[in-house]
Amino acid sequence: MNNRPSPQFLVVIPVYNHRETLRDVTIQSLRTGLDVLVVDDGSTDCGLESLKDLTCLTHILTPNRGKGAAILAGAAIAAERGFDGIVTIDADGQHDPASIRDLIEKTAEQWPALVIGNRTMVAEEIPRSSLFGRSFSNFWVRLETGCALPDTQSGLRLYPVRELLRLSIRTRRYDFEIESLVRLAWGGIPVHSVPVPVHYPPSDERISHFHRLWDNTRLSMLHTMLVIRALFPWPHTKLAPKKTGDEQPNLLLHPVRLFKKLLMEHATPSQIATAAWMGVFLGALPLIGIHTVVILYICHMLHLNKMAAVAASQICMPPVVPILCIQVGYYFRHGELLLDFTRETLVVQIGERLWEYLLGSLIIGPLLGFVVAAASYFTIRFFRNRKTVQTVEADRLATDQEKA
């Protein structure tokens, strides 16, 4: 029997110039029966004046500091008031505040946890840029954490306050939600998704402060930093104790089980294609004598299929790809191909050839990797779809025979 007291939650609404929708979102949030805190991030439209008759808390940041700063301010206030978690919801009316209860119900299964509202983005009015942005973000978060999440950009989230405030999060704007997700996952906090409805008003009525150039640049820089950090063999801040029974058996003592695990881990078509690209890219680099070790390490840290990566890297074995890389590098340095194969050019100038090898591999590796990744993806999709059709046909025949 679980005698743990139920966690208490505070609804936090970060707002920046959303006067037209703020009042309705706040009223709907109050109807959940939870306390509500509106954090005004330096708005200039006097939106808080529309809330004077409502029983909600307010907090003002000046000047504008970014959505992440508003969420952290809300988390700090929640901690001071004894709340265990916060549920953030955007002030633009995109989310239905009734969904807040769905996120809270998920914590009954596991706490502390991060719960994200998975927006059902299937309607025709959903901007294609939003659909692409979500898929792009999902890919990188899975690479960084190993978590296959359906919606990593949703603003409807439930955070554990104590764990969130323990993190050293550098970002303060839209990129905050990605960094906090990744760092919480690294810290051992489970991440769950709950399906929630979403409403996108017509484009001429939509209020968004997301700057496509600068915010996308920030997100790209963030993912670059997170991938590098994921590769760095320094332990992450642990936020949750390891549970009894989580210990994994030593697979080195069971080589058959180890081989099966390596074959099956991260084995969707897109995951195998990504691993194949990584294997070819690393295989093309002049990592003489340590290719396999480097590939296994990076694929382990980035949650990629190790067997697929190692297999794909064999395409880069000498002599074809290394010679091609040297020729490309030589051409970029001298404007012509290397045609003089003498002791002088191959032995005495070995340092020059290695430098050209590296330059050429940075061009050949990614391009060849894309070709191999695409071939891997479509081949796997073809055979899996074929197998699915065969399975369905076999089930149908078996059913017909039973009826006969």
**Model pLDDT for residues 165-192, shown as the tens digit of each residue:** 999 999 998 899 999 999 999 999 999 9
Q: Where are the domains of the chain?
A: 9-231, 253-403
Proportion of the chain above pLDDT 70, given as a percent:
84
pLDDT band at 387 (very low <50, low <70, confident <90, very high): low
Q: List, for residues 187-229, the tens digit of each pLDDT value.
A: 999 999 999 998 876 655 556 666 667 777 888 899 999 999 9
Q: Is the Cβ–Cβ distance between 61 and 42 less than 8 Å?
A: yes
Report in angstroms the alpha-carbon separations of 226 from 143, 185, 272, 350.
10, 12, 21, 36
d(CA 216, CA 206): 19
- Confidence tier at 270 by pLDDT (50, 70, 90): confident
Order across the sheet with 35-41: list the strands. Answer: 57-61, 35-41, 9-15, 85-88, 157-160, 114-119, 191-196
Task: Of 222-226, 337-341, 365-369, give the range with the top mean pLDDT.
Answer: 365-369
- Of 150-164, 265-279, 337-351, 382-396, the range with the highest mean pLDDT is 150-164
Residue 26 has pLDDT above 80, yes or no: yes
Cα dihedral 346→352→353→359 (10° resolution): -170
Name the amino acid, one letter, at 233. P
What is the CATH code of the structural domain delimited by 9-231?
3.90.550.10
Report the mean per-residue pLDDT for the chain: 86
Q: What is the pTM of this model?
A: 0.75
Residues in contact with 358: Cβ distance below 8 Å, sequence separation at least 6, in sequence order? 285, 286, 329
CA gap 244, 235 in Å, rounded: 20
Tally of helices (H runs) and strands (E runs) in the chain: 14, 7
Q: Give the pLDDT mean for 319-331.
A: 94
Phi, psi of 115 (to 5 degrees): -120, 130
pLDDT band per the 50, 70, 90 thresholds, residue 253: very low
Determine the average pLDDT of the residues in 261-283: 81
